[in-house]
Amino acid sequence: MTHFAAYEELSEGQIFETDEFLVTSRDIRSFAEQYDPQPMHLDEVAAQQGPFSGVISSGWQTLCLTMRLMVDSRPFGDHPLIGVAVDSIQFKKPVVPDTRIRACAAIVSKRKSAKIGRAFVKLKVRTLNADNNEELLTQIWTVMLVLPSAS
């Protein structure tokens, strides 16, 4: 894993890879009960008759797990991941129980803010099925960096 030393060292196309996470039936149920209590996530029988022919994870769960994988991978070292915007979230494939997921982020662009000591980095974040590399979810993050000179 590359660690962030300075804004200047970040470059377009630079790639950050995360570890993997196995999404179990229990994870899907636990998340859905709290944040997305709909039959397609909670009720096996109802889900069978729904548009996905079985239980799938909440898209928000896949997003949250992607965040966790990204945080753990520390793309910018000790610098936090401070999101200011997320664009173009596309749910490409449903996440079914026992899918192993991983994420892969690429720097799309970077720019210094008009505010001194701040910068913004855009990342294309892709959540993949770790077993076959199919795209499950893609999104664009805009992350704020607090530059060392400002601290």
* Helix pair angle (59-73, 25-35), 10° resolution: 110
CB 129 within 8 A of CB 136: yes
Minimum distance from residue 127 beta carbon to a second copy (Å): 13
**Residue 16: count of CB within 10 angstroms of its CB:** 19
Binding site for a second copy (CB under 8 A): 34-40, 50-51, 58-60, 63-65, 67-68, 71-72, 80-91, 144, 146
Interatomic CA distance for residues 50 and 2, integer angstroms: 43
Minimum CB distance to a second copy smaller for 18 or for 58: 58
Minimum CB distance to a second copy smaller for 3 or for 13: 3
Cα-based angle 73, 82, 60 (whole degrees, multiple of 5): 75
Minimum CB distance to a second copy smaller for 118 or for 129: 118
Minimum distance from residue 138 beta carbon to a second copy (Å): 10
Minimum distance from residue 144 beta carbon to a second copy (Å): 8
